[in-house]
């Protein structure tokens, strides 16, 4: 059964307008009319699931080094907004639980990408699902995705009924169809900036929904929609939005 997705999903919140993967970014996406957002989940050293993308802290916080070596209490001391702009000074790296609280407040759906550090594929998925199982009960507004088939396999074993999506790199592995079948995924998430029409048609033949990342260009968005892409992740929901895509 297909997932009822909006045609546009806010990428890391609304990453063009607020620091990615923060509470502020979730609010910004909701304020701009997004019905769903996409967020990344990683683990601290002491196995607290947090909303964060990179393996290292340096790009989006005032911390340094691998997040996998940072305990949660120490992560709380870091600041994750000033790199984006002074107006967001003081923003924090949220826990998964804190992010879900805001998602529920704002009545949003969510695509959670399991983004494990190397060697923590199972652990990251387990910790994320442990939290989700306690606070999330709307199966139809949750999509769990990952590039890691090990993380998706763990998700399948722990929460078989929740929707899953397989993330593919620009150059997808040859056995992606076999993996998609084994993991029983509902969506295939592709790099829409490099995907060919032929590849999109190949996915359509598997009767799975197609989600494209990260589309910030109106012309490309329209083209992907014509080719059969069901939904798009965008940093700029004011530029690529439901109204734009419904018109084409």
SS3 label, residue 70:
coil
* Positive/negative CA dihedral, 99, 100, 103, 108: positive
> From residue 74, how far is each of 62, 93, 97, 191, 224 by CA, in Å?
12, 11, 18, 34, 43
223's tokens: 């083209």
Instruction: Out of 27, 53, 64, 248, pick the active-site residue.
Output: 53
d(CA 238, CA 182): 37
* Pairing mode, strands 209-213 and 231-234: parallel
Q: What are the distances in angstroms from CA 189 to CA 79, 82, 143, 233?
A: 31, 31, 11, 10
**Tokens standing for residue 66:** 């691998």
Token output for 25: 């970014």
248 catalytic residue (yes or no): no
What does the alpha-carbon distance between residue 53 and residue 40 come to, in Å, rounded to a whole number?
5
210 touches 229 (CB < 8 A): yes
Beta bridge partners of 196: none
Residue 11 annotated among the catalytic residues of the structure: yes
As annotated, the active-site residues are 11, 53
């Amino acid at each position: 059964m297909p997932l009822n997705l909006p045609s546009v999903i806010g990428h890391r919140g609304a990453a063009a307008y607020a620091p990615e993967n923060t509470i502020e970014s979730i609010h910004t996406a909701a304020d701009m009319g997004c019905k769903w957002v996409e967020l990344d989940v990683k683990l601290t050293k002491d196995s607290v699931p947090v909303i964060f993308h990179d393996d290292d802290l340096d790009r989006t916080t005032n911390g340094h080094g691998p997040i996998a070596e940072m305990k949660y209490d120490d992560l709380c001391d870091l600041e994750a907004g000033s790199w984006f702009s002074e107006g967001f000074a003081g923003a924090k790296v949220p826990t998964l639980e804190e992010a879900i609280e805001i998602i529920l407040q704002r009545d949003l759906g969510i695509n959670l990408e399991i983004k494990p550090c190397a060697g923590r594929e199972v652990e990251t998925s387990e910790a994320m699902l442990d939290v989700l199982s306690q606070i999330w009960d709307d199966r139809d507004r949750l999509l769990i995705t990952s590039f890691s088939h090990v993380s998706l396999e763990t998700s399948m074993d722990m929460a078989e009924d929740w929707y899953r999506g397989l993330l593919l790199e620009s150059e997808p592995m040859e056995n992606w169809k076999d993996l998609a079948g084994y993991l029983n995924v509902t969506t295939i998430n592709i790099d829409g900036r490099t995907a060919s029409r032929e590849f999109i048609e190949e996915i359509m033949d598997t009767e799975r929904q197609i989600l494209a990342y990260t589309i910030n260009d109106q012309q490309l968005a329209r083209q992907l929609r014509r080719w059969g892409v069901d939904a798009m992740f965008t940093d700029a929901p004011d530029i690529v939005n439901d109204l734009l895509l419904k018109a084409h």
